[in-house]
Amino acid sequence: MERLNRSKLWSLEQYAVERDAFRARVIAHKRPRRIALGPHATLAFEDFLTMKYQVQEMLRAERIFSPEEIAEEIRAYDPLIPDGHNWKATFMIEYENVDERKAALAKLRGVEHKVWVAVAGFERVYAIANEDLERSTEEKTAAVHFLRFELGPEMIRALKETDAAITMGIDHPDMQYTTGPLPSPSRASLIADLG
């Protein structure tokens, strides 16, 4: 799978030229990769393109020029690119009302470990959460988590060679949700992450 490195990034000057067209491309690319898990939770599946955009935007916003600082940004975001046998996603818990969000996050401790994906004919695959640092405390969970779903070779084969459906969900006592089979554009986009 494609990985981030300096040679694949634009300079700040070149990015200023490319930004509008690149941003439009990334927004269109992200659309089928954003899966709602009920009214208050979303999975945004990451890949090389989404992480390249994130790094370019960070370099632009922070005016980062030095090779060391660029390398630091790459080190931060490259782990969110799938390895060919997994899916990686940003999991967001979203409540517009601040008080409602605060109450929900207190009840949803551990929810990040209860998010799952399933390939038809196989058992659910539960997320490996927050490998970089813990984002939950004894009082609450965070509103954003980084998840990895490891898929076995048989699952990958079924996805690539058949029309096996993909479903996703959450089975936390205070947040229960299961999607229907993902629509074709979402399914195709996620299968492209598999080596």
How confident is residue 65, by pLDDT bands cut at 50, 70 and 90?
confident
In 3-state terms, what secondary structure has residue 142?
coil
> Which residues, at least 6 apart from 37, have a Cβ–Cβ distance to it below 8 Å?
43, 115, 168, 169, 170, 177, 179
How confident is the model over 120-138, as a mean pLDDT? 88
How confident is the model over 94-121, as a mean pLDDT? 96
Give domain status of residue 1, yes or no: no
- The order of strands in the sheet holding 125-126 is 125-126, 115-119, 166-172, 175-178
**Portion of the chain with pLDDT greater than 90, in percent:** 92
CA distance linking residue 106 with residue 101, whole number of Å: 9
Give the DSSP letter of residue 95: -
Give domain status of residue 52, yes or no: yes
In 3-state terms, what secondary structure has residue 50?
helix
Residue 93 pairs in a beta bridge with 41
134: containing domain: 6-191
Q: Is the pLDDT of residue 102 over 80?
A: yes
pLDDT score of 114: 98
Tell me how many degrees the CA angle 12-13-17 measures, rounded to the nearest 5: 110
Give domain status of residue 113, yes or no: yes
Strand ranges, E, within the chain? 34-36, 41-46, 86-93, 115-119, 125-126, 128-129, 144-150, 166-172, 175-178
pLDDT score of 116: 98
- CA distances (Å), 90 to each of 32, 42, 127, 128, 154, in order? 14, 8, 11, 12, 25
Give domain status of residue 26, yes or no: yes
pLDDT score of 134: 74
Q: Is the pLDDT of residue 166 over 80?
A: yes
Give domain status of residue 25, yes or no: yes
Give domain status of residue 32, yes or no: yes
pLDDT in tens, 40-56: 999 999 999 999 999 99
How confident is the model over 1-26, as a mean pLDDT? 95
- Measuring CA to CA, which residue among 160, 194, 178 is closest to residue 35? 178
Give domain status of residue 98, yes or no: yes
In 3-state terms, what secondary structure has residue 33?
helix
Q: What is the tally of structural domains in the chain?
A: 1
Give domain status of residue 73, yes or no: yes
pLDDT in tens, 73-83: 999 999 999 99
How confident is residue 131, by pLDDT bands cut at 50, 70 and 90?
confident
